[in-house]
Amino acid sequence: MRKNKKERQELLQQTIRSTPFITDEELAEKFEVSIQTIRLDRLELSIPELRERIKSVAEQTLQDEVKSLPIDEVIGEIVDLNLDEQAISILEIKDEHVFSRNQIARGHHLFAQANSLAVAVIDDELALTAKASIRFSRQVKQGERVVAKAKVMNLDKPKGWTAVAVNSYVSEELVFSGTFEMYRSKQT
């Protein structure tokens, strides 16, 4: 059931506050209006486009600095980071990430996003992947947005090992999962 403009705009603000990475297309579908209506509502409410919201959230949440690799070497855009705890990155699947004949993402891009996030979450100058156990749950297509969530599962600083679980999603659907055993400098 369609809402009037005022109700829709209030719900739009609530939705974007709770899910800042939602696209205009997803909002249009949710509120049963055109994408143009969503864009006009955002403009009226001074809500920036998705790319600007991602950048804003990243700047606010990247108070911890990635130590284990240069930030520009992370595949995807880190939007949340708590060193030695958890991290989130987003990768928009574009033309350069897919096979030309079927527009399916090449697996190494999903792996690289997850692996670089597992490295980035380590609070150490040195973090190397020693072993990885991965599983692809479904194909990812061009135009989809992959949200990777890393969680540090086990820290053994004296021995220099850390286990990091990474799950990657398109919308709410799991598309990739992996456990990365990371070698790090010994910390006593």
Identify whether residues 118 and 37 lie together within a single domain. no
Give domain status of residue 55, yes or no.
no
With a cut of 50, say whether residue 64 has pLDDT above it: no
Q: Which domain holds residue 28?
A: 5-47
Closest C-alpha among 66, 185, 170, 52 to residue 118: 66
The CATH number assigned to the domain holding 95 equals 3.10.129.10
Q: How many helices (H) and strands (E) would you count in the chain?
A: 5, 6
Closest C-alpha among 133, 61, 130, 127 to residue 90: 61
Say how far residue 135 (Cα) sits from the centre of its chain: 18
Residue 58 pLDDT grade (very low, low, confident, very high; cuts 50, 70, 90): low
Identify whether residues 131 and 90 lie together within a single domain. yes
The CATH number assigned to the domain holding 32 equals 1.10.10.10
| Helix 24-31 with 5-18: angle, nearest 10 deg | 130
pLDDT of residue 56: 65
Query: Where is average pLDDT lowest: 38-47, 87-96, 108-117, 129-138?
Result: 38-47
Structural domain tally of the chain? 2
- The residues that bridge with 110 in the sheet, in sequence order, are none
Distance in Å from the first CA to the final CA of the chain: 60
Name the token pair of 11. Answer: 């719900």
- Can you tell me the mean pLDDT for 141-160? 87
For residue 98, what is the DSSP state? Answer: B
